[in-house]
Amino acid sequence: MLCETRDLTKIYRGNHGVPAVDRACVSVDRAETIGFFGESGSGKSTLGMMIAGLTSPTSGQILFKGERISMRYPKEVRRSIQILFQHPETSFNPQLELIKSLTEPYRVYGLPYEYSEMLEYLSGFGIYEEHLYRRPSQLSGGELQRAALARILLVRPELIILDEPTSMLDVITQVQILNILKRYQRESDAAFIFVSHNSTLCRSFCDRIYSVQKGVFTPMDKEE
């Protein structure tokens, strides 16, 4: 199993002890896509954030490649688990030109950087040189989401949490994003956790689905 959670619970302060995520036991294997399907506020994004190491759990465990990981992820685990958010317009620093945000992974992980190679890589996501020197506010939602995807795939993650990544996009861009993800999964055996409130999309994109209600994660039949 690539990643699993054991009795993972999150209780936010001021929520009168009501868990946002209640003893969640979910697992995802390599090359697998699992879905968290539920209403807004049901806790599906919170679990995604905990697995990504961005929110600390109140109790429970997260295991990655069989080893328990604590809140401060080691660099390699950090690199292996990435997250793509719903709102592309807030996925980049509004003060920086796109190129500065896109080259950050090269610097952080010491990846070999060649401008022309980066341009070629980005063209696979429909991002070209003319986009690179603009600020996020000067780009469309679709362009930004493709750029956000390009940035996280640069570090070759093994697990990607997709937090409603297509809900703010038009149908054409949705298809583009999902196709890029499927292609990456075929190439790298990466696992995806797909968070969505769209049942049709969840059923078509995921291998297994967890239904989420009031923080409780229950495996459900895809045909249900």
Partner 1 sequence: MNTEKKAGRAARRTFRMNPAMTAGIIIVGILALTAILAPVIAPCDPYQYGVPYEKPSADHLLGTNDVGQDIFSELLYGTRVSLLIGVFTSLVVTVIAASTALVAGYYRGWPDKLITAFTNVMMGLPNLALTTLLVAYLNPGKISIIISIALTAWTGTSRILRSRIIQLCEMPFIKIEKSLGVSDGVIMVKHLIPNLRDVILSRAALSVSNAMLTEASLSFLGFGDYGEKSWGNILHYAFYQKGVIRGFTWWYLPPILCIALSVMGFMLIGYYGAQRKEDGTDA
Q: How many CA atoms, within 13 angstroms, populate the side-chain half-sphere of residue 172?
A: 4
Which of 26, 28, 50, 152 touches partner 1 by CB under 8 A? 152
Which of 36, 37, 64, 85 touches partner 1 by CB under 8 A? 85
Let me know the angle formed at the C-alpha of 145 by 142 and 148, rounded to the nearest 5 degrees: 150
Least spacing, CB of residue 165 vs partner 1, in Å: 11
Q: Which of residues 110-149 bind partner 1 (CB under 8 A)?
A: 148
Let me know the angle formed at the C-alpha of 20 by 57 and 58, rounded to the nearest 5 degrees: 20
User: CB under 8 Å to 9, separation ≥6 — which residues?
Assistant: 19, 21, 22, 23, 24, 57, 58, 59, 60
Least spacing, CB of residue 203 vs partner 1, in Å: 26
Which of 95, 110, 116, 172 touches partner 1 by CB under 8 A? 95
Cβ proximity to partner 1, 152 vs 206, nearer residue: 152
Q: Which of residues 13-52 bind partner 1 (CB under 8 A)?
A: 49, 52
Residue 17 backbone dihedrals phi, psi, to 5 degrees: 75, 0
Residue 18 backbone dihedrals phi, psi, to 5 degrees: -80, 120
What residue ranges bind partner 1 (CB under 8 A)?
Answer: 49, 52-54, 75, 78-79, 81-83, 85-87, 90-96, 101, 104-105, 108-109, 148, 151-152, 155
